[in-house]
Amino acid sequence: MDLAYLRTHPRQLPLFLTHQRIRETPVSGGDICAANRLTLDDGSSLFAKSWPEGSDADMPEGFFASEAAGLRWLREANAVPVPEVVVALPELLALEWVEPGEPTPEAARRFGAELAALHRAGAPSFGAEWPGFIGSLPQDNTPSDEDWPTWFAHRRLTPYLRRSVDNGALSATEVALVERLISRIDGYGGAEPPARIHGDLWPGNVLWGADGRAWLVDPAAHGGHRETDLAQLTLFGGAPHLDLILDAYQEVWPLADGWRERIPLHQLHLLLVHTALFGATYRNAVAAAARAALSA
């Protein structure tokens, strides 16, 4: 099987894999999926993701279809490079292979400028036309004409706060902090029309390529607030050359006044997703972000 054949016969990929007609090399695929590098007969490679065999959890319906839709939508903006979706099946996703490289200052500056261009491509509404996921959790992408603070509170904070309460990850202290923040969300300013965002842009979802560019992978793409992507880039140690990324971004599309003070507010979405998924390990991070936002 070569790449040209696969493009025209994508449903044949599982059959070829089952009969070991394609070389598979395990690679890092994150915390959720099993991942392999597929080497085809013409020497080309693909990155393939599938639900892990023996997983305690069933694969959510539409999981890979959602990721494929988001990747294609981000790629349509022709801004930040996004791997091409070659095969999108219910049980499997195969993408263009991106050869890893180093996060150079030049790549960081280019990434900042391209990320601003991606955001500026916009979205018809908050949310998206396809059901959403973030990690393995559902994310409500129902298109909405609500203003950004209301939408963010209802669709991106409250659902994961509830999940984090249900699984015992948060105590009454953290819950009270987040609820207080939600009650005040209209006062934070910075409301803008929906941008075209990655939606899960922690530093591990930026793939620094050997081509000298930064590629976007593993999106939870939707129409959202551009400051959410930028705030997520600062989490978990921050992206390499973060100051260069932000400076280049600002040169293309300056951010609204007060954006730095709003970083903890925007971070809170992904931190609550982490307490919903992984439990109390991230409890202190949620509390710190909520306190910082309340004191801004």
Residues with catalytic function: 200
Q: Is 66 exposed, middle or buried (0-12, 13-18, 19+ CB in 10 A)?
A: buried
CB atoms closer than 10 angstroms to residue 171: 12
- Cα of 11 vs its chain's centroid, Å: 26
Rounded Cα distance between 212 and 59, Å, is 35
- Which single residue is written with the structure tokens 């409890």? 283
Rounded Cα distance between 169 and 235, Å, is 19
Which string of DSSP letters, residue by residue, matches 170-203? S-HHHHHHHHHHHHTGGGG----SPEEE-S---G
